[in-house]
Amino acid sequence: MDVSASFRRVLPVALCAGALLAGCSEQRGSGPRGSSGVVLTYWPAPNPQEILLADSLVRVWNRLHPEIRVEMQPIPVSISTEEVLLAAIAGKTTPDVCSNIWPGALHDYTQAGGLVRLDAFPDFDSVMSLRTPRELLERFRVADGHFYEVPWKTNPLMMFYNRRLFREAGVEGVPSTYGGYLAAGEKVVTHRYEGGTADVWMGDRDVRPIWWQRLFDFYPFYIAASGGRTLLTAGRPSFGDSSAAGVFAFFRECYGRKYFPRTYFQGGDPFLLEKKATHFSGPWEVAAIRKFAPQMDFGVAPVPVPDDHRGPVFTYGDYKDISIFSTTTHPMEAWEFVKFLVSAEHDLLLLRICDQIPVRGDLLENPLFAGYFRENPAMTEFARQAVYTRGMDDAPDLKEIFDAIAQEYESCAVYGRVGPSEAIREAVGRTNLIVEWNR
Amino acid sequence: MTGLNQILQRARRSDRGAYWFILPYVIFFCAFVAYPLVFSLILVFHRWNIVTPMEWIGLKNFDRLIGDVLFYRSLLNTLTFLAIHIPLQVVVALALALLLNAGVRGRGLFRALYFLPVVVSGVAVTILWQQIYSYDYGILNNILHAAGLPPVPWLVDPRLAMPSIAIMATWKNVGIYIVLFLVGLQNIPRDLYEAANLDGASPFKQFRYVTLPMLNPTIVVIVVLSTIGGFSLFIEPYVLTGGGPMQSTLSGMLYIYNQAFSFGHMGYAATLGFVYALVILGVVVLQRRVIESEMSS
């Protein structure tokens, strides 16, 4: 059999089929499609509430703007949105607009030239000044002096508490300091190992040394204890102070006195199951309680601070923002869509559907939102707290720095092997090394 | 050049049609083995986070590796895992293979049951063991509690976490090694046992002086495969412990993964990968020599 002759006959067919298949798979969102005008792709976060919100908004937009069609596609599910977006930037498959941009990853995106400069649009300042207070907006300016994201929503980390469990344990008032929290823990926790399990915990945190878990314990507590400071100053670690050591010492007491379990839970949120009295979380928890534990009598308060703390209590804002990717061929149309997403009416929709706080200065004054906050008093606490929030530093090493903190948090707070001051010294030392390695 | 010319001449003389048959594998090899290998080697001398252009940094990644305590920690953890996992794997697989080879009833069913974990997804198995090992709500600690014993911190004590993972990995992989041992056992000529019987050898002596030496090649294969598999330890610590407690389960592969995909240090991760490849090669060669000299003596 003449294999090479057969191959020569088959090769053109195979090449044609390959070209056809390649043509079928190439479906870019940006750019005109036939005669139907501009098509934009929009990636919202892949959780059910935000998909529902995005779907509603896109339907309205497409009805009002038939010449600029928006196609919504939730961000492909992965371990983290940031990995997906980085991969998309590398593969030049980014959407035109994305509304799940974590400011901590912005440095990577801008360094890669992946984002459109938003302050290059002539009406950027006027649009932003109507929505976000200037002082807050300035925190989103990156090192090159420009804006690449519209601050969209914030999820201030606060303390949820179960009123029934507090009442039954005889806890009066809501603990606002480390001392008050530990005293309440003493009353709440009953370690009756009946059936091998404790009855009720004061709280719990994932004990695994996973960097982003520290965004929900160490980081908000550090921001609160330090009066609103973040981890870095001019790219160098500035958290080697008594506030950070105090946070480690506080959590060390929680684990040491067995108010927190040295494990992590699978198959159910113990706060929703009323198995723990406090929970550090964002406003999305309100919707979860409403859905899975509607009978729960709960309240929301700022995270505990050192006993001698004075002044307002800041916390981590867990911001998620909107950006336009530089792969877009229609930046003006994309900017129009972004402005549509952050209008007051659609911010109300964000509150109603997702129970997340828009980054607006007039949330508690604007009559448009009054009805929502009257119906959802717990959300009013988050709206009040939103003014006292901090985001992330603009640095390329954040994940690694949080990893270093997570390692020390584990050995000091969870297992009590190292003292708080020594652990913070180690974390600062490792952070200095990381910064040196990466520059 | 003469050598190359000889190869080309030989190629020209041979049946050209044969090259079309090996072409698919050559393409596969180039795309998925040779290219990544060469690209990794290039990465070793660069700083690169996938999205920004590569930056030449010479030997800085090696400089970093030499001073990186977490690299040594991950290497030590991996060797600790191997030290527990390999003997356990060999002993358990051999014991079960001997039982299955002895003609117990329902042998086929037992073989299938022991092999089942091998074909189940690693993540699913790990989540199952998470429920078994959980300190406060785990099945094991509930059994201990029912027996009046205190709970054991399987995954939350730095001294116990890696042995717990090694037990789990043994359970997951033992099926495949049982099959290898069964093949080895069935290839031992029966007349060796008959001769040993005639000489009055007890069952233990038959095992010691007939079975074990005849299984020598199988043991070498199993130890080498377990070693290479052990160096790839990733899913178990990634899902179960995240590398904790206190970095006691931070395996080499988990550390490489973190550097590459969590922190975007592709160059440093490639450097770690090459160093680990050399370590694996060294350990396997050493193991083979030790096992062969032990068996021959």
> Are both B54 and B70 inside the same structural domain?
no
Task: Identify whether B9 is part of a domain.
Answer: no
Those residues with Cβ within 8 angstroms of residue A92's Cβ, 6 or more apart along the chain or in another chain: A327
**pLDDT attached to residue A266:** 62
> Are both B54 and B67 inside the same structural domain?
no
> Are both B170 and B93 inside the same structural domain?
yes
Give chain B positions within 8 Å (CB) of A422. Answer: none
Rounded to a whole number of angstroms, the distance from the CA of B46 to the nearest CA of chain A is 12
**Among A335, A389, A338, residue whose Cα is nearest residue A361:** A389
Q: What is the pTM of this model?
A: 0.79
pLDDT digit string (tens) for chain A, length 439 residues:
344 444 444 444 444 444 433 433 434 444 444 445 899 999 999 888 899 999 999 999 999 999 999 999 999 876 677 778 888 887 888 999 999 998 888 888 888 888 999 999 999 999 999 899 888 888 899 888 999 999 999 999 999 999 999 999 999 999 999 999 999 999 998 755 555 556 788 999 988 888 889 999 999 999 999 999 999 988 889 999 999 999 999 999 999 998 998 876 666 788 999 989 999 999 989 888 988 999 999 999 999 999 999 999 999 998 999 999 999 999 999 999 999 999 999 999 999 999 999 999 889 999 999 999 999 988 999 999 998 999 888 888 888 999 999 999 998 999 888 999 999 999 999 999 888 887 6
Residue A197 carries which DSSP code? Answer: B
Q: Is B137 on the interface with A (CB under 8 A)?
A: yes
C-alpha torsion angle, residues A48, A365, A320, A78 (rounded to 10): -10
> Are both B75 and B25 inside the same structural domain?
no
Task: Identify whether B6 is part of a domain.
Answer: no
> Are both B106 and B28 inside the same structural domain?
no
Residue A77 carries which DSSP code? Answer: P
**Among A290, A223, A273, A213, residue whose Cα is nearest residue A49:** A290
For chain B, what is the domain count? 2
Q: Are B136 and A261 an interchain contact pair (Cβ–Cβ within 8 Å)?
A: yes
> Are both B56 and B150 inside the same structural domain?
no
Give chain A positions within 8 Å (CB) of B50. Answer: 86-87, 90
Q: Are B136 and A197 an interchain contact pair (Cβ–Cβ within 8 Å)?
A: yes
Residue A103 carries which DSSP code? Answer: G
Q: Please name the residue of chain B whose CA is at the shortest distance from the CA of residue A401.
A: B263
Structure tokens that stand for A198 in this block: 């404790």
Give chain A positions within 8 Å (CB) of B264. Answer: 86, 108
Q: Is the ipTM of this complex over 0.90?
A: no
Inter-CA distances, A303 with A179, A281, A297, A300, Å:
13, 10, 19, 9
| Residue labelled with tokens 């060796």 | B192
Task: Identify whether B206 is part of a domain.
Answer: yes
Q: Is B52 on the interface with A (CB under 8 A)?
A: yes
> Are both B170 and B226 inside the same structural domain?
yes
**pLDDT attached to residue A11:** 44
Peptide bond into B245 cis (omega under 30): yes
Task: Identify whether B248 is part of a domain.
Answer: yes
Task: Identify whether B5 is part of a domain.
Answer: no
Task: Identify whether B200 is part of a domain.
Answer: yes
Q: Please name the residue of chain B whose CA is at the shortest distance from the CA of residue A418.
A: B246
Structure tokens that stand for B152 in this block: 């054991």
> Are both B67 and B50 inside the same structural domain?
no
Q: Are B136 and A263 an interchain contact pair (Cβ–Cβ within 8 Å)?
A: yes
> Are both B25 and B130 inside the same structural domain?
no
Domains within chain A, CATH numbers bracketed: 38-148+320-358 (3.40.190.10), 158-316+393-438 (3.40.190.10)
Do the beta carbons of residue A146 and residue A119 sit within 8 Å? yes
Give chain A positions within 8 Å (CB) of B261. Answer: 83
> Are both B192 and B116 inside the same structural domain?
yes
Task: Identify whether B7 is part of a domain.
Answer: no
**Among B220, B232, B231, B226, residue whose Cα is nearest residue B289:** B220
Chain A residues interacting with chain B (CB cutoff of 8 angstroms) = 1-4, 7, 83, 86-87, 89-90, 108-109, 111-112, 114, 193, 195-198, 207-211, 261-263, 265-267, 397, 399-400, 403, 407, 410-411, 414-415, 417, 437-438
**pLDDT attached to residue B106:** 80
Instruction: Report the DSSP beta bridge partners of residue A299.
Output: A161
Q: Please name the residue of chain B whose CA is at the shortest distance from the CA of residue A199.
A: B136
Task: Identify whether B3 is part of a domain.
Answer: no
pLDDT digit string (tens) for chain B, length 297 residues:
567 787 777 766 667 778 888 899 999 999 999 999 999 999 999 998 887 788 999 999 999 999 898 999 999 999 999 999 999 999 999 999 998 888 777 878 888 888 889 888 888 898 889 889 887 778 898 899 888 888 888 888 889 999 999 999 999 999 999 999 999 999 999 899 999 989 888 989 999 889 998 998 899 889 888 888 899 999 999 988 888 888 899 999 999 999 998 888 999 999 999 999 999 999 888 887 887 777 666
Of A195, A403, A415, the CB nearest to B245: A415
Helix axes A398-409, A218-225, angle to 10 degrees: 90
Quote the distance between the C-alpha of residue A318 and its chain's center. 4
Q: Please name the residue of chain A whose CA is at the shortest distance from the CA of residue B258.
A: A400
Q: Which domain holds residue B177?
A: 62-296
> Are both B94 and B191 inside the same structural domain?
yes
CATH of the domain at B135: 1.10.3720.10
**Among A157, A183, A153, A151, residue whose Cα is nearest residue A170:** A183
> Are both B24 and B166 inside the same structural domain?
no
Rounded to a whole number of angstroms, the distance from the CA of A186 to the nearest CA of chain B is 19
Those residues with Cβ within 8 angstroms of residue A59's Cβ, 6 or more apart along the chain or in another chain: none
Contacts 24+ apart (CB under 8 A), B111-119: B111/B178, B111/B179, B111/B182, B114/B174, B114/B175, B114/B178, B115/B175, B115/B176, B115/B178, B115/B179, B116/B175, B117/B171, B117/B172, B117/B173, B117/B174, B117/B175, B118/B172, B118/B173, B118/B175, B118/B176
